[in-house]
């Protein structure tokens, strides 16, 4: 099975900061890599699908990139609403796997 490792596990940042979260796969994966935002007590929200496609309604400050085993989620200018936990998720051969999550905290 493909393992997904996110880094960092926790990130402290300020409003206006540029934030980058990394997701590394244990082997080369398809471009079907997605990113989610989850707030406490709420269901996850899809932000990015197929590595770099912005989901409808998601602000353009979110972007995704990567290929092979290394993928990134970037928030260009962190806003108060962005403090949350972020997960990557990959698809390969009828198996789906999430990363362990990255919590973005207020610095």
x-or-dash pattern for other proteins, window 28-67, by CB under 8 A? --x-x-x-x-x----xxxx--xx--x-x------------
Task: Kindly state whether residue 101 participates in binding other proteins, applying the rule CB under 8 A.
Answer: yes
* Residue among 62 and 87 whose Cβ is closer to other proteins: 87
Shortest Cβ distance from residue 74 to other proteins (Å)? 18
Beta carbons of 30 and 53 less than 8 angstroms apart? no
* E-only strand ranges, 3-107: 4-7, 10-13, 19-25, 33-38, 45-49, 53-54, 62-67, 70-75, 85-92, 95-98, 102-106
* Shortest Å, Cβ 25 to other proteins: 14
Q: Which is nearer to other proteins, 68 or 96 (CB)?
A: 96
Region label for 80, one of left (φ > 0), alpha (ψ between -120 and 50) or beta (otherwise): alpha
Is there binding between residue 2 and other proteins (CB under 8 A)? Answer: no
Strand partners, 17: none
- What is the rounded distance in angstroms from the CA atom of residue 107 to the CA atom of residue 10? 11
Which residues here bind other proteins, judged by CB under 8 A? 1, 30, 32, 34, 36, 38, 43-46, 49-50, 53, 55, 87, 89, 91, 94-101
């Amino acid at each position: 099975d493909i393992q997904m490792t996110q880094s960092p596990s926790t990130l402290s940042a300020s409003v206006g900061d540029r934030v980058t979260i990394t997701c590394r796969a244990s082997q080369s994966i398809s471009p079907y890599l997605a990113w989610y935002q989850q707030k406490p007590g709420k269901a996850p929200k899809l932000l990015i699908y197929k590595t770099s496609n912005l989901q409808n309604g998601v602000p353009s400050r979110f972007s995704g990139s990567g290929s092979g085993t290394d993928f990134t989620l970037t928030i260009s200018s962190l806003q108060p609403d962005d403090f949350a936990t972020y997960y990557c998720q990959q698809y390969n051969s009828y198996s789906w796997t999430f990363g362990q999550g990255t919590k973005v905290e207020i610095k």
